[in-house]
């Protein structure tokens, strides 16, 4: 089974690629990147692309499964228009190209409260992207809508403060109440593994269509509760979801 990924240099994309490479079911991973990000691995193809001309790189997409993890912040993008270009434009054009190239399963990393009718820019952008990708008609579409993400080494101060606050609140059990449940922090390594597990499970099912993995589903699967267990040195897709450390592929990371 082959996979193609965009957003591989990001907080979720990096552990996703490393976990895909460590798992036996995936024979080849193609990462579409702006610049080379990982070290050598026999199963990894790093393709340097210009996302403004993504359609020119269609021949690089040769996979059954696609993962779309691209995203930026308003601060980094500089304007709402620039953020829309990355979060919506690049991802939608990638999805459309994957559909044209025969990708059967598409995994989209969205966000909690995604809603095309939202009055909030970010939620509206994510919601519109979900709807447009769904219209493309993939055999299987999996949309992840996580809440706050725990990103190791992040410099996003507001996010760091938010995660710390939610972790403190969680110690009192308050995140099991109402809307706060949606904000339960999730480590990006656990999110990456959940994305892979969902693909493996859905591949063996006859059911087709769109599947939403929101915060409630992640909690019911035990992913959120198990995210703080001790790191292990090996990966097994049948193990409970946990924070992952894979020494044999740590050389893949490069200082950027």
Q: What are the structural domain ranges in the chain?
A: 2-148+187-252
The Cβ-side half-sphere exposure at 195, using a 13 Å CA radius, reads 34
pLDDT at 93: 98
Torsion from C-alpha of 185, 234, 10, 17, nearest 10 degrees: -130
Q: Please, are residues 3 and 29 in contact by the beta-carbon 8 Å criterion?
A: yes
pLDDT at 154: 56
2-148+187-252: in CATH 3.30.230.70: no
pTM for this predicted structure: 0.79
For residue 214, list its beta bridge partners.
145
- How far apart are alpha carbons 35 and 256 in whole angstroms? 10
Task: Give the chain as a DSSP string.
Answer: -EEEEESTTSTTHHHHHHHHHHSTT-SEEEEEESS--B---TTEEEEE--GGGGGGGGGG---SEEEE-----HHHHSSHHHHHIIIIIIHHHHHHHHHHTT--EEEEE--TT--TT-SSHHHHHHHHHHHHHHHT--SEEEEEE--SEE-TT---HHHHHHHHHHHHHHHTTGGGSGGGGGG--EEHHHHHHHHHHHHHHHHT-S--EEEEEEHHHHHHTTTTGGGGSPPBSS--TTSPP--B--GGGGGGB---
For residue 4, list its beta bridge partners.
30, 66
Going residue by residue through the chain, which has 256 residues, state the pLDDT in tens, using 9 for 90 and above: 999 999 999 999 999 999 999 988 899 999 999 999 999 999 999 999 999 999 999 999 999 999 999 999 999 999 999 999 999 999 999 999 999 999 999 999 999 999 999 999 999 999 999 999 999 999 999 999 998 888 676 555 565 555 555 555 555 555 555 555 556 678 899 999 999 999 988 876 666 888 888 766 665 555 545 444 333 322 332 332 222 333 333 334 333 2
For residue 3, list its beta bridge partners.
29, 65
What residues are labeled active site? 122, 126
User: Which burial class, exposed, middle or buried, applies to 151 when counting CB atoms under 10 A from its CB (0-12, 13-18, 19+)?
Assistant: middle
């Amino acid at each position: 089974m082959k996979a193609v990924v965009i957003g591989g240099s990001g907080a979720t994309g990096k552990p996703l690629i490393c976990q895909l490479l460590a798992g036996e079911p995936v024979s080849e991973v193609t990462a579409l990147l702006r610049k080379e990000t990982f070290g050598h691995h026999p199963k990894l193809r790093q393709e340097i692309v210009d996302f403004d001309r993504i359609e020119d790189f269609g021949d690089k997409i040769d996979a059954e499964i696609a993962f779309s993890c691209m995203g930026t912040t308003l601060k980094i993008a500089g304007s709402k228009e620039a953020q829309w270009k990355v979060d919506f434009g690049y991802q939608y054009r990638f999805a459309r190209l994957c559909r044209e190239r025969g990708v059967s399963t598409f995994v989209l990393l969205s966000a909690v409260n995604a809603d095309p009718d939202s009055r909030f820019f970010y939620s509206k952008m994510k919601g519109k992207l979900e709807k447009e990708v769904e219209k493309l008609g993939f055999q299987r579409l999996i949309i992840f809508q996580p809440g706050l993400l725990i990103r190791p080494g992040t410099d996003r101060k507001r996010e760091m403060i938010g995660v710390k606050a939610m972790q403190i609140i969680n110690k009192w059990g308050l995140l099991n109440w109402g809307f706060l449940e949606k904000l339960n922090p999730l480590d990006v390594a656990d999110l990456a593994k959940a994305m892979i597990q969902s693909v493996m499970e859905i591949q063996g099912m006859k059911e087709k269509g769109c599947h939403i993995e929101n915060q409630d589903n992640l909690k019911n699967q035990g992913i959120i509760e198990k995210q703080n267990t001790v790191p292990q040195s090996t990966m097994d897709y049948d193990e409970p979801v946990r924070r992952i450390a894979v020494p044999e592929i740590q050389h893949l990371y490069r200082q950027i």
